[in-house]
Structure 1
């Protein structure tokens, strides 16, 4: 979780795939720690960069696919979930950090059922 927190600016905002909003790298870690100690303890993420748009000197908007593969620790059992992530990155010194991130689950608009891309 320390590594996760280090990706974010201290005053970063985060919206998870369920619409939960938090502000601050400590709050982002606090949001993730309990689920990664329990239902996601045997999960993995695979990310695929889609686009980087430099919007100003030291600022960029990034879009990427993220596939969560949950293991047997998840109450619903092993499964995969795809999300599309939008992140705003800022350069602090020589390091790029996430200033804002929003994570959206891919769903069928008619049924609300989660779908996998491709």
Structure 2
């Protein structure tokens, strides 16, 4: 979780896939620690960049797919979840960090059932 925190700007915001909003590295890490010590302790993520747009000097917006492969520690057992992530990155002292990130789970709008992208 220390490495996760290092990706973010000190004043970053994070919205998880359930709409939980937090601000700052400490809150972002605190949001993730309990689930990564328990239900996601044997999970993996695979990310795929979709696009990146530089919108100003030292500011970029990225979109990427993220597939969570939950393991046996999850109450629902092994399964996959796809999310679409939008992040705003800023460059300070030649280091790019996440300033804002929002994570959206892919679901069927009629049933709420999670869907996987192709």
TM category, shorter: over 0.9
Once the two structures are superposed, residues 16-58 of structure 1 have per-residue CA deviations (whole angstroms, 9 ceiling, x without a partner) of 0000000001100000001000000000000000000000000
Q: Could you say which residue in structure 2 is the equivalent of 1:31?
A: 31
Q: Could you say which residue in structure 2 is the equivalent of 1:82?
A: 82
Alpha-carbon distance in structure 1 between the residues aligned to 2:38 and 2:112: 26
Shift of 1:80: 0.2
TM-score (ref. length: structure 2): 0.99
Shift of 1:92: 1.1
Matched, 1:20 2:20: yes
Alpha-carbon distance in structure 2 between the residues aligned to 1:34 and 1:92: 30
Tell me how large the CA RMSD over aligned residues is: 0.3
TM-score (ref. length: structure 1): 0.99
Q: Could you say which residue in structure 1 is the equivalent of 2:46?
A: 46
- In structure 1, stretches of 5+ residues that fail to align are none
Count residues in correspondence. 118
- In structure 2, stretches of 5+ residues that fail to align are none
Once the two structures are superposed, residues 49-100 of structure 1 have per-residue CA deviations (whole angstroms, 9 ceiling, x without a partner) of 0000000000000000000000000001001000000000000111100000
